[in-house]
Structure 1
Amino acid sequence: MEPPKIAQDPVANVTLTVVRNLEDQHDWTGLEIVSALSHRPLVRGLPPRRLYTHPDDQIASLDHERQTGERLFQEPELEWVLPVRLAEHWTMARFAAVFDSIPEHGPRGKRVVLATVHNDSTVVYYLMHEGVVKPRQN
């Protein structure tokens, strides 16, 4: 019996590896593979907690916590994930094309979770923002 064609496609393999990792190891829900947006499939899903807080929102949250003693709960947001293999060579133009293909990500601009898959199927995640982003408070 011939293996499914998806198993022979390295881009599909890396995408499925990332989807399984997000589901099984990181408890993401509502995952879907969206291929119509860019030259590469993107994954869209909901993490169990918010991945990123904009620095302005972080300052407001810290002020609230200082004044009231209670932390603000921040709902998780749907995220775009770009699965790539570690050995791939990406240029700024390729990343720009991915950002151009996704709709605005709320009032704070666009971001993508870069999911880098190593040959042993280890996945490392990085947040990538379009343009310049104000540094976070420590």
Structure 2
Amino acid sequence: MSSPDHIAALTKVVLNNLVYQHDWTGVQTHTEGNVPRPLIYGLPPKRLYVHPDEQIDIIKAEKERGEPIPQEPEVEWVLPLHLSEKWSPAQFAAVFDAIDALPPGAADQTALDADGTDAQWKLWRGPKRGKRVLLATVQDDSTVTYYWIFDGLVKPRQN
């Protein structure tokens, strides 16, 4: 088990990396509730993830409208870990059990379409999105590598 000082230092490395290397805004540390260790959340400068089914719905909606649909960034969860840590599926499950799909302060982007109906492509945003965490793996030289992890199965994206 990592010491509290080690976890705090690890969290600070990732927080600084997000703010100063990747231009995230509103970055905060989250220790409330029953999270097994501190998490980070914040707003990236651009949208980082589009669910494969949402991608299909966006393409259909863009064809119907004849114009691109803006892809606003979403507030994301980040879990800092050191490369040497060995995490089990049960530990990741505990993280997902302790969080909501949206971090604190995330805007609900499930507004109605121009004609007053729910736009199909918006059903993947806001609290309806699946739980996901950006895993920030820190190496000994402070290099941070990011990977998506999801609560459950997610089909692969189409390229």
Please state which band the TM-score falls in when normalised by the shorter chain. 0.7 to 0.9
Q: Deviations over 1:63-93 (max 9, x none)?
A: 3445566432111111010000000010001
The letter for the 2-side match of 1:28 is W
Q: What RMSD, in angstroms, separates the aligned Cα atoms of the two structures? A: 1.6
Q: Deviations over 1:39-58 (max 9, x none)?
A: 20000100011110111210
Q: CA deviation at 1:137?
A: 1.6
- Report how many residues are paired: 131
Question: Where does the alignment leave 5 or more consecutive residues of structure 1 unmatched?
Answer: 1-7
The letter for the 2-side match of 1:45 is G
Partner of 2:149: 128
Partner of 2:50: 53
Partner of 2:131: 110
Q: Distance in 2 between matches of 1:27 and 1:103?
A: 24
Percent of pairs with identical residues: 55
Question: Where does the alignment leave 5 or more consecutive residues of structure 2 unmatched?
Answer: 103-126
Kept in 2, the 8 Å contact 1:59–1:137? The answer is no
TM-score by length of 1: 0.88
Q: Distance in 1 between matches of 2:88 and 2:59?
A: 37
Q: Distance in 1 between matches of 2:36 and 2:149?
A: 18
Q: Which structure 1 residue ranges, 4+ long, deviate > 3 Å from structure 2?
A: 64-70
